[in-house]
Amino acid sequence: MTEKILLFIETMGFKHFTLGNIIMIAVACTLMYLAIEKKYEPLLLVPIGFGMLLANLPLAGLMAEPVYQIGQDGIPHLKQIGGLLYYLYKGNKLGIFPPLIFMGVGAMTDFGPLIANPRSILLGAAAQFGIFTTFMGAIYLGYTFPEAGAIGIIGGADGPTSIFLATRLAPHLLGPIAVAAYSYMALVPIIQPPIMKLLTTKQERMVVMEQLRPVSKTEKIIFPIAVTILVVLFLPAAAPLIGMLMLGNLFRECGVVNRLSDTAQNALINIITIFLGVTVGATASAEAFLNMKTIGIFILGLAAFAVGTAAGVIFGKIMYKLSGGKVNPLIGSAGVSAVPMAARVSQVVGQQENPGNFLLMHAMGPNVAGVIGSAVAAGVLLSILG
């Protein structure tokens, strides 16, 4: 009996706790606090934080790989099955979850503001500048070309795209890249406003923009089909992301598949978000995260996001000058693809200067353009470096 009690004690995780586990559990609890108390992207940070918690509880084995043994017949036989999250993580590793998330995003997205003001696609393109700037910076710091490409895409503030590209260019960095991308997406309301205010004047922030023109149903149906054809012909590597994004949007706009549209923007995206978030968090073990390479990824990711925001605002200032003061530069910050959080930040900062200013719909143009832009940027990097 004593031996069984001692054996039971040995199976407990307490004696296997390390300082690294404690640090990562503290980080996990911080993410969940920000999500629950501060309401920072709770749909993302709650599952990511809890997945990180699970990964750092010793002996839980949720990310354990299956164990095979070669039998006398020379065929490998399963000796021990892998952990639950190991198998769910395959959806990330094989590039399945990110395109499905994009389908849901497409089903929830109204491209009307972009169609009504096609110039806003330039703001979405300008905000991708942070991706390529950070790509060069990462190379300078000693990362390989594929690693630099996977890190740079964090600047697009698009978690699914970051995961998709990392699985193909630098799968060994998938965990820190995904956590960095989703963390910065959640912190958009904190990171962006100081940059926006620093680069604009009070007069520019007070600009009231003209109401957008109505967009017909025909335009909204043609748009996803035309974008898919053009982008995939130029960049076949972007087909999984752009194709699923535009398929979801076509579900929304065509008006004849309401059940499919409802499933894509509700049940499907919610289920995939749970699986993706928990498994991304579960990659954040102390061994994988507490090293200089991972710290470098977080620093470069923040730089990419800041440069992308700044580039969008600066291009917005250029449009302000060229339009004779009719474009509010604040909408340029929404060119990163954190939909719709970045557009809301543009609205909030604008109303702080002019309570009667309503920039949300104008900011949604560059915001949805940023979704397309980050997928295109991923396709460019994958075509060159893959």
Is the predicted pLDDT of residue 61 greater than 90, yes or no? no
> Which residue's entry shows tokens 């003061």?
325
pLDDT value for 8 = 66
Range with the largest mean pLDDT of 58-72, 166-180, 232-246: 232-246
pLDDT tens-digit profile of 182-207?
Answer: 888 878 888 999 999 999 999 999 99
Q: What is the pLDDT of residue 239?
A: 95
Question: Looking at residue 291, what is its pLDDT?
Answer: 84
Angle between helices 19-36 and 42-55 (to 10 degrees): 160
Task: Report the sign of the C-alpha dihedral through residues 101, 107, 108, 110, in that order.
Answer: positive
Which residues share a beta bridge with 80?
67
Q: Is 320 in contact with 329 (CB distance < 8 Å)?
A: yes
DSSP code per residue over 353-384: H-TT---HHHHHHHHHHHHHHHHHHHHHHHHH
Question: Region 303-316: what's the mean pLDDT?
Answer: 92
Which residue do the tokens 């500048």 mark?
129
The verdict on residue 73 lying in a domain is no
Average pLDDT over residues 345-357: 92
The mean pLDDT of 233-243, rounded to a whole number, is 95
Provide the CB-side half-sphere exposure for 147 (13 A, CA): 17
According to DSSP, the residues that pair with 70 across neighbouring strands are 76
| Residue 328 lies inside a defined structural domain of this protein | yes
| Statement: residue 15 has pLDDT above 80 | no
Confidence class for position 241, pLDDT limits 50, 70, 90: very high
Tell me whether residue 61 is in a domain: no
pLDDT digit string, tens, across residues 73-87: 778 888 889 999 999
How large is the average pLDDT for residues 240-263? Answer: 97
* pTM attached to this predicted model: 0.90
Mean pLDDT value across the chain: 90
Q: Which residue has the higher pLDDT, 236 or 178?
A: 236
The whole-number pLDDT of residue 310 equals 94
Mean pLDDT, rounded, for 95-112 = 95
Instruction: State which residues form the domain around 329.
Output: 98-385
> Percent of the chain at pLDDT above 90?
64
- Please state the rounded mean pLDDT for residues 296-309: 90
Overall average pLDDT of the 294-307 stretch: 89
Closest Cα to residue 333, out of 177, 194, 234, 240? 194
Give residue 293's Cα distance to chain centre: 20
Dihedrals phi, psi of 239, to nearest 5 degrees: -55, -45
pLDDT of residue 1: 67
Q: What is the SS3 assignment for 277? A: helix
| Helices then strands, each counted (H, E), the chain | 22, 2
Instruction: Give me Rg for the CA atoms of the chain.
Output: 22
Residue 212 has pLDDT above 70, yes or no: yes
The pLDDT tens digits of the residues spanning 119-129 come to 999 999 988 88
Q: Which amino acid makes up residue 269?
A: I
Percent helix, strand and coil across the chain, each rounded to 5?
75, 0, 25
Tell whether 86 is covered by a domain. Answer: no
pLDDT at position 185 is 82
Does residue 83 sit within a domain? no
Residue at 287 is within a domain: yes
Residue at 136 is within a domain: yes
What string of DSSP letters covers 257-274? -HHHHHHIIIIIHHHHHH
* Structural domains of the chain, count: 1
261 falls within a domain:
yes
Q: Measure CA of the first residue to CA of the last residue in the chain; give whole Å.
A: 58
